[in-house]
C-alpha cells in the first residue's frame, strides 16, 4: 500500500531528479514532498524511518508502488538482475569514464530491458545515472560511439518519462534505405502441347495427300525396300531387348492383365516412413550450435577433500549438491588452492558430464574455475553465500532444459567453454549473460579470465 507522505531533502540535483522519475513512474509523485535542503540525500518515510542512499530510496519507493512486482523482479533471476545492476551502478559508474561507458554498452548488446521482459527499477536508476554523461556527447557521435547504449536509452526516454523530468536527447537513427524494386518478370511463352503438334502435323499431311477414288493398291516392294525394312526390324528388336534387360522385372498376369509390381512388406514400408521422418530431425540437430543451457550447472559445497592416491596434482572432493549423497569430483587444483581452503568451499559444478576415470578414480562432475592467460592463477568461481546447494545457475536468454548427459564425442562443453569468462567487474558470464543465482551473480577475484 502506498505511504501517505514521503519527505525528500538534500542531495544533488541529479539525485533529486532521479528520485522524482522513479516516483512518477510508480504514480507516487503526489505523496513525495521535496524540501531541497542542503546536505546529504535523505528520504523520511511515513513511519519516521530515514533512508540515505539513492538506491535504497528508489527501492523503497518501488516497493510501495502497485508496480512493485514488475519493478523489483517477477522471478528469482529477475530480482537478482535488478540487484546486480544497482550494485553495478554503485561500484562501477561513479566516474562515468570511457571504459565504464563501453562496459555498459557491451552489456546492453542483447538487451531491450535490463532485467526481465518489461521496465524494471534497474532501467529507471540506470537511465537517471547515465543521462548527464550521454547528454554531453556531441549529437554527431552518439549513434556510433555507444550504439547499444544509445539504442536502449532512446527507447527508455520515450517510455519511462511521460512527465518530462528529463529533456529529450536527439539521437539520429540510421535512415531506412528501401531496396530498389525488382524488374517485372518476363512472361514465359506457353509450351505447345504434343497432342496439338501431332494433330496439326496429321492435318497437314492429310491435306497434301490426294483424295482416294478407288480401292487402294498396295505399293510394290523393291529389293532395296525389303533390305531396309529388315534392317529396321532388326534394330528395333535389339533396342527393345536392351530396354527389357534394363527395366526392373515385372510379373506378367494371366489373361492379358496389366503387369503389377511386387507388393512390399508392411514392415519395410514402416521402416521407410521412419527413415523419412528421422532424416530432417537429424540434420536440424546436427546444425544446431551448442549453447550454455545444454549444461546443468549447480551450486555445491565441498564437504571433504583429499589428495588423489595416484596423482600429486589432483584433489578428490566430496561435494554436496543437494542430492541423496555427496558427489565425487576430481579436480586439478593442488598447485593453486591449499586443501584447507578447499574444505567447506562453495563452488559451481557442471553435473551432466559423462563420468570419467582420472588416474583410476571416478569423477562425476567438474568444478568450474577462473584462470588467467598464463594459467599460473586458478581459482574456483564463487556463488553468493546464501544460495542453497543444488540451485541451478541461470543465464538470461537461455532457458532450455539441459542435456541429461553430454555426449563426449560431440565436444559440447569444449565448444561452449571459449565463451565462458569473467569480465572487468569479476562477474562470470557466458557471452553477455551473467551466471545468475537467486541471490546475485557468480563472481571471481580473477578478472578478464577464462572459465574452465
Q: What is the mean pLDDT of residues 139-155?
A: 82
Residues 50-65: pLDDT tens digits? 888 888 889 889 988 8
- Alpha carbon 77 to its chain centroid, in Å, reads 16
Rounded Cα–Cα distance for residues 388 and 329 (Å): 19
Identify whether the C-beta of residue 72 lies closer than 8 Å to the C-beta of residue 63. yes
367 or 235, which is more confident: 367
Going by C-beta distance under 8 Å and a sequence separation of 6 or more, which residues neighbour residue 298? 321, 322, 348, 349, 351, 389, 390, 391, 392, 393
Q: Work out the pLDDT band at 73, boundaries 50, 70, 90.
A: confident
**311, pLDDT greater than 50:** yes
Query: What pLDDT is stored for residue 162 in this prediction?
Result: 83
**Most confident stretch, 67-81, 361-375, 420-434:** 361-375
Cell numbers linked to 269 = 514400408
Residues 289-306: pLDDT tens digits? 899 999 999 999 999 999
**78, pLDDT greater than 90:** no
Residue among 15, 18, 38 nearest 123 (CA):
18
Q: Work out the pLDDT band at 188, boundaries 50, 70, 90.
A: low
**240, pLDDT greater than 90:** no
Look-up of cell digits 538506491: 55
Q: What is the mean pLDDT of residues 165-193?
A: 70
- Candidate from 15-24, 26-35, 74-83, 282-291 with smallest mean pLDDT: 282-291
β 378-380/369-371 pair status: antiparallel
Residues 407-416: pLDDT tens digits? 999 999 999 9
Rounded Cα–Cα distance for residues 349 and 52 (Å): 39
Query: What pLDDT is stored for residue 233 in this prediction?
Result: 46
Which own/partner pairs from 350-356 qualify as long-range (CB within 8 Å, at least 24 positions apart)? 350/295, 350/296, 350/297, 350/413, 351/296, 351/297, 351/298, 351/321, 351/327, 352/295, 352/296, 352/402, 352/403, 352/404, 352/405, 352/406, 353/405, 353/406, 353/408, 353/413, 354/405, 354/406, 354/407, 354/408
255 or 125, which is more confident: 125
- Candidate from 68-77, 184-193, 324-333 with smallest mean pLDDT: 184-193
- What percent of the chain has pLDDT above 70? 72
Helix (H, G, I), strand (E, B) or coil at 123: helix
Q: Work out the pLDDT band at 8, boundaries 50, 70, 90.
A: confident
Identify whether the C-beta of residue 105 lies closer than 8 Å to the C-beta of residue 149. yes
Q: Work out the pLDDT band at 38, boundaries 50, 70, 90.
A: low
Query: What pLDDT is stored for residue 242 in this prediction?
Result: 41
Residues 212-224: pLDDT tens digits? 444 444 444 444 4
Alpha helix positions (H), 223-295:
223-246, 266-287
Rounded Cα–Cα distance for residues 55 and 82 (Å): 11
State the chain's mean pLDDT as an integer. 78
Rounded Cα–Cα distance for residues 256 and 140 (Å): 88
- What percent of the chain has pLDDT above 90? 34
Look-up of cell digits 545457475: 393
**pTM of the model as a whole:** 0.47
Amino acid at each position: 500500500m502506498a505511504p501517505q507522505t514521503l519527505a525528500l531533502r538534500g542531495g544533488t540535483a541529479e539525485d533529486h531528479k532521479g528520485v522524482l522519475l522513479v516516483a512518477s513512474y510508480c504514480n507516487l509523485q503526489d505523496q513525495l514532498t521535496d524540501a531541497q535542503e542542503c546536505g546529504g540525500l535523505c528520504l523520511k518515510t511515513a513511519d519516521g524511518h530515514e533512508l540515505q542512499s539513492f538506491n535504497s530510496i528508489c527501492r523503497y519507493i518501488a516497493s510501495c508502488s502497485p508496480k512493485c512486482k514488475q519493478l523489483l523482479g517477477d522471478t528469482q533471476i529477475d530480482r537478482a538482475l535488478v540487484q546486480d545492476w544497482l550494485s553495478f551502478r554503485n561500484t562501477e559508474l561513479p566516474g562515468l569514464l570511457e571504459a565504464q561507458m563501453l562496459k555498459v554498452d557491451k552489456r546492453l548488446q542483447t538487451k531491450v530491458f535490463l532485467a526481465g521482459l518489461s521496465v524494471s527499477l534497474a532501467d529507471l536508476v540506470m537511465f537517471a545515472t547515465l543521462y548527464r554523461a550521454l547528454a554531453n556527447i556531441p549529437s554527431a557521435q552518439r549513434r556510433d560511439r555507444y550504439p547499444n547504449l544509445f539504442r536502449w536509452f532512446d527507447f527508455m526516454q520515450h517510455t519511462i518519462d511521460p512527465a518530462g523530468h528529463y529533456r529529450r536527447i536527439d539521437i539520429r537513427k540510421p535512415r531506412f534505405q528501401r531496396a530498389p524494386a525488382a524488374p517485372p518478370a518476363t512472361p514465359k511463352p506457353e509450351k505447345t502441347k504434343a497432342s496439338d503438334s501431332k494433330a496439326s502435323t496429321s492435318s497437314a499431311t492429310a491435306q497434301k495427300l490426294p483424295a482416294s477414288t478407288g480401292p487402294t493398291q498396295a505399293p510394290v516392294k523393291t529389293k532395296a525396300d525389303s533390305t531396309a525394312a529388315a534392317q529396321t526390324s532388326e534394330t528395333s528388336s535389339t533396342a527393345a531387348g536392351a530396354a527389357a534387360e534394363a527395366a526392373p522385372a515385372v510379373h506378367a498376369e494371366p489373361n492379358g492383365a496389366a503387369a503389377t509390381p511386387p507388393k512390399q512388406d508392411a514392415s519395410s514400408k514402416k521402416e521407410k516412413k521412419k527413415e523419412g521422418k528421422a532424416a530432417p530431425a537429424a540434420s536440424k540437430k546436427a546444425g544446431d550450435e551448442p549453447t550454455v543451457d545444454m549444461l546443468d550447472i549447480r551450486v555445491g559445497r565441498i564437504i571433504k577433500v583429499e589428495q588423489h592416491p595416484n596423482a600429486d596434482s589432483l584433489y578428490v572432493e566430496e561435494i554436496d549438491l543437494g542430492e541423496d549423497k555427496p558427489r565425487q569430483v576430481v579436480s586439478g587444483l593442488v598447485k593453486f588452492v591449499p586443501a584447507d581452503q578447499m574444505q567447506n568451499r562453495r563452488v559451481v559444478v557442471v553435473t551432466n558430464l559423462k563420468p570419467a576415470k582420472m588416474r583410476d578414480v571416478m569423477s562425476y562432475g567438474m568444478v568450474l574455475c577462473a584462470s588467467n592467460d598464463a594459467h599460473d592463477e586458478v581459482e574456483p568461481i564463487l556463488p553468493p553465500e546464501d544460495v542453497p546447494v543444488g540451485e541451478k545457475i541461470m543465464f538470461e536468454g537461455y532457458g532450455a532444459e539441459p542435456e541429461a548427459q553430454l555426449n563426449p564425442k560431440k565436444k559440447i562443453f569444449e565448444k561452449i567453454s571459449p565463451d565462458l569468462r569473467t569480465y572487468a567487474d569479476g562477474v562470470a558470464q557466458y557471452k553477455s549473460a551473467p551466471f545468475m543465482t537467486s541471490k546475485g551473480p557468480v563472481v571471481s577475484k580473477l578478472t578478464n579470465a577464462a572459465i574452465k
